[in-house]
Amino acid sequence: MSEFLGPEEIAYGMKVISEEDLELKRIEDIIYQRLTYDGKLKGKQPSIPVTTMKRMYELMLIGRRFDEKATSLSTLREIGTYAPCRGQEAVQVGFALALSKDDWLVPMYRDSAAMIAFGLPAENLLLYWGGDERGMKIPQGVNLLPIAVPVSTQLPHAVGLALGMKKKKENSVVLTSTGDGGTSKGDFHEALNFAGVYRAPVVFAVENNQWAISVRREMQTASKTLAQKAVAYGFEGILVDGNDVIACHEATLYAVEKARQGKGPTLIEFYTYRMGPHTTAELVSNRLKAPEEVELWEKRDPIKRFEKYLLDSGIIDESFITSASKMASDFVDEAVSRFRSYPKQEPRSIFDYLYSSPTERLREQLEESLGIKEPAPPEEEERRLEGGKEGINIRNAINMALREEMRRNEKIVVFGEDVGKNGGVFQVTRGLQEEFGEERVFDTPLAEACIAGIFVGLAVSGMVPVAEFQFEGFTPPAYDQIFGHIARMRNRTRGRYNARGVIRFPYGAGVKAPEQHSDSPETYFAHTPGLKVVVPSNPYDAKGLLISSLRSEDPVIFMEPKKLYDTPKMSVPEEEYTVPIGKARVLRDGTDITIVSYGAMLLNAEAAANTLSSKYSKSVELIDLRTISPLDEKTILNSVRKTGRIVVVHEAPKNLGVAAEISAIIAEKAVEYLKAPIRRVTGYDTVVPLARLEDFYLPGEERIVKACLDVLSY
C-alpha cells in the first residue's frame, strides 16, 4: 500500500502552485465595474465621447429589437433556428465600438448585436439564419469573418489573422469571441497558447453568460474565473461586468491598444447572463433556470442600467429615448423588409464558389440537374522539360519548389512542427528558415487543430500558408478545421474569402514507422468539396505539382509518399515549370490492359507492368493519377475504351477508396467497353499493421500481376 508524502517529507524549496495562490475570494473583489446595478457611476467620469455613449445606447436598442424580431420570425418559421443574445448587448456593443475600421472582428454565432454594431447589414443575419448562404457574404470594407457554428473553432482563425496582419506590418488588431462553454474546447486552449507564444495582436472575448445550453458555468471548469486562464498562456486576463457597457468598452479599449502597441494578447471575461434560450430550436434549458436567478439578472438589465446613467448625467433625456427607440424599431423593420424582398436564391447557387473554377464533375452535375452548360476552362498543357540537376529525390524536389516559389512570392509562409532550424522530421524544409527568416518559416506548438486553424486566418489576411503536419496520422485532430472551414470558406462567404494554400504531410507505409504513422487517408480529403488532393510519385512531378499547388486559388492537400522520399532519384530542372493539377499522366502506352495507380504504389504497379510485358508478352497501359481530386476521368476512360480491361492499385483500404470511385465512373460511362470485370488491388480493410506485417498489407508486385492475369484470362 503506497502513501502520499507528508509536507515534512517534500524536498526543501518545492513550490506547489494552486488556485489559492491567485488570491481570488469573490468575483466582486476583482470584477471591473463602472456602473452600479442601479446605474450609478463608480470612479471618475469616463473619457468616452458623449456622441459615442449615445451611439452605444442606440446600438444596444437595435440589438435588443433585432433579437426580439429574429426570435419572433424564427417562432413563425420565417427563418430557421436563431441564437438570441438578449442580455448580452452591453458586451457586444462595448467591444465592437472599441475596434477601428481597420481592425477585425471574428464573432461567434450569438453575436448579432456585435456584428450589426460593427457594420454587417442586419438583413444578412436574417438571410443566414433563414438558410441562405448569401447572408455570410461580408460586404467589402467590413473586416468581419463569417459566423462559426462549431463552438470556438473561430478562435484559431483569429490568431492566424492577427499573425498575418503582424507579418504584413499592418497595425490591425483582431477581436474574437466565444462563450463560457467554448472555453472547454481544445480550440480555445490551442488558440490562447499560440497567441501567447507569438504575442499575436488579438483580444479574446469570453461572453460568460453562465449557461452552455443546460450546463452551468461551474460544470465547465473548476477555475474561480475564466479570465485567469490567460495567465497559463503567458498574458493578461481581465474580469469585467458584462452588463456594464462603459466597463466593457473601456476594458476592450485597453486590450486593443495594448495589442496594437505590440504587447500581446488579452483575455477578457465578460460576466453577463443569457436571458433567452440557447436557440429558438431548444427551449427546455431555459426552463431549468431558477426564477430567482432570472429575476436577479433582469434587475441588472444592461440597457436599463445604462439608460439610468445617461439620464442622470444629462447626456440624454426622455425625448432622446423615444426617438432612439423609434429609430431602433425602424432600423429593424427596414432590415426585415430588405430581407423579405431579397431575390430568390437560385438552385444553381449550390454549385458556385466551391473552387476557383468549377471542376468537370460539378459542370456535369450542373448540366444534369438544371440543364445549364458551364463552359470548361482552357485545358492546361503540360510541357515536360529535360535535364536539370541530377540525383534529386522527392524531398529535394519539394524543397526546390518551396524555395523557388518563396523567392517569387513573398506572401508564402511555411509553418508546422519542427520545420524551422530542424528542417522538418524528413528534412523537407531544410535551409528555408536560414534563407527566408523566422517570419516566413516558423515552428509551431504541437497542436494540429490550431495549425490548420491559423491557416484559415493567414489565408484571409492575404498570405499563402503552407502548413506541414509531421505524419498523416497526426491529421485527424485538424479535420474539423480542414473540413469545416478551409474547404468551405470560399463557398460559405460566397467568394468574399478564400482559404487558399497548401497542407503538406508525409503519408503511407513501407518505412517501418511506429503505430499510426503509416496510413493512407486520401479518401477523407478527396470526399470533401472544396479541397484538391495531390499525390506525386516521382521527384519531377513533386516539384511541378507543388508549384502548381502554391499558385492555385484553391486549398490543396499535398500528400508526400514517405516511402519515396529517398528513391527514386532523377534529374529535376532548376528552371521554372508546373505540372497541372487534375491531369493524370500515361507513363506507358498499351492495348491489352490498363493499370492505374498513384503515389508509392505506382512503383509496384510499374514493376508489375514490366513483368507482364517481359514474362507474359502483355501490352500494359500504365497511368499515374497524380491528382486524386479532381480525378482525370477523361484519361482513365480513354484508356479503358482502348484496352477493355483495368486494374486499380492503391495502399489505402479497399472500402470506399479511390479505386471504388474509378470503378463507379467506368461503370457509369464506359461499361460497354469492358471485356472483363474491374479489379481493385488495395490495402486490406484493416488498420495498417506494425512493421513485421507491413509488407504483407501493401499491394506488392505479385498481387498486382496476379490480378492482371485474372482479368486478362477472363
Kindly write down the DSSP assignment for every residue of 468-529, as one continuous string: E-S-GGG-GGGHHHIIIIITTHHHHTTTS----EEEEEEE-SSS---TTSS---HHHHHTST
Strands (E), 65-173: 104-106
Confidence at residue 1, expressed as pLDDT on a 0 to 100 scale: 36
555: three-class secondary structure by DSSP: strand
453: three-class secondary structure by DSSP: helix
Q: Residue 98's closest CA among 333, 224, 268, 303?
A: 268
Average pLDDT, the chain: 94
Structural domains in the chain, sorted by start: 33-340 (3.40.50.970), 389-572 (3.40.50.970), 585-712 (3.40.50.920)
The answer to whether 453 and 200 have CB atoms below 8 angstroms apart is no
Confidence at residue 5, expressed as pLDDT on a 0 to 100 scale: 43
Confidence at residue 21, expressed as pLDDT on a 0 to 100 scale: 64
Strands (E), 330-447: 389-392, 412-416, 441-443
Conformational region of residue 172, where left means phi above 0, alpha means psi within -120 to 50, and beta covers everything else: beta
Residue found under cell 468616452: 48
Beta-bridge partners for 595 = 622, 647
CA angle at 339 for the pair 90 and 369, rounded to the nearest 5°: 125
The answer to whether 380 and 583 have CB atoms below 8 angstroms apart is yes
What pTM, to 2 d.p., does this model score? 0.94
Beta-bridge partners for 647 = 595, 679
The residues, any chain, with a CB within 8 Å of residue 403's CB and separated by 6 or more, are 431, 432, 435
Among all residues, which ones are annotated catalytic?
A: 517
Helices 360-370 and 633-643 sit at what angle, rounded to 10 degrees?
A: 90
CA 247 from centre of chain: 33
Q: 33 vs 93, 258, 302, 315, 350, CA distance in Å?
A: 16, 20, 12, 20, 48
Within a 10 A sphere around the Cβ of 668, how many other Cβ atoms?
Answer: 10
CA 489/CA 172 separation, integer angstroms: 22
The residues, any chain, with a CB within 8 Å of residue 309's CB and separated by 6 or more, are 35, 39, 40, 41, 246
The answer to whether 579 and 435 have CB atoms below 8 angstroms apart is no
Residue found under cell 477472363: 714
How many residues does this entry show for the chain? 714
Residue range 423-482, pLDDT digits in tens: 999 999 999 999 999 999 999 999 999 999 999 999 999 999 999 999 999 999 999 999
Q: Which amino acid is at 108?
A: M
Confidence at residue 279, expressed as pLDDT on a 0 to 100 scale: 94
The residues, any chain, with a CB within 8 Å of residue 94's CB and separated by 6 or more, are 56, 245, 246, 247, 248, 249, 251, 252
Q: How many angstroms separate the first and last alpha carbons of the chain? A: 70
Confidence at residue 355, expressed as pLDDT on a 0 to 100 scale: 96
The answer to whether 578 and 544 have CB atoms below 8 angstroms apart is yes
Confidence at residue 513, expressed as pLDDT on a 0 to 100 scale: 87
10: three-class secondary structure by DSSP: coil
Spans of the chain below 70 pLDDT: 1-25
528 φ/ψ angles, rounded to the nearest 5 degrees: -95, 115
Q: Residue 631's closest CA among 678, 679, 584?
A: 584
Residue range 276-331, pLDDT digits in tens: 999 999 888 888 899 999 999 999 999 999 999 999 999 999 999 999 999 999 99
Handedness of CA 262, 265, 271, 274 (dihedral sign): positive
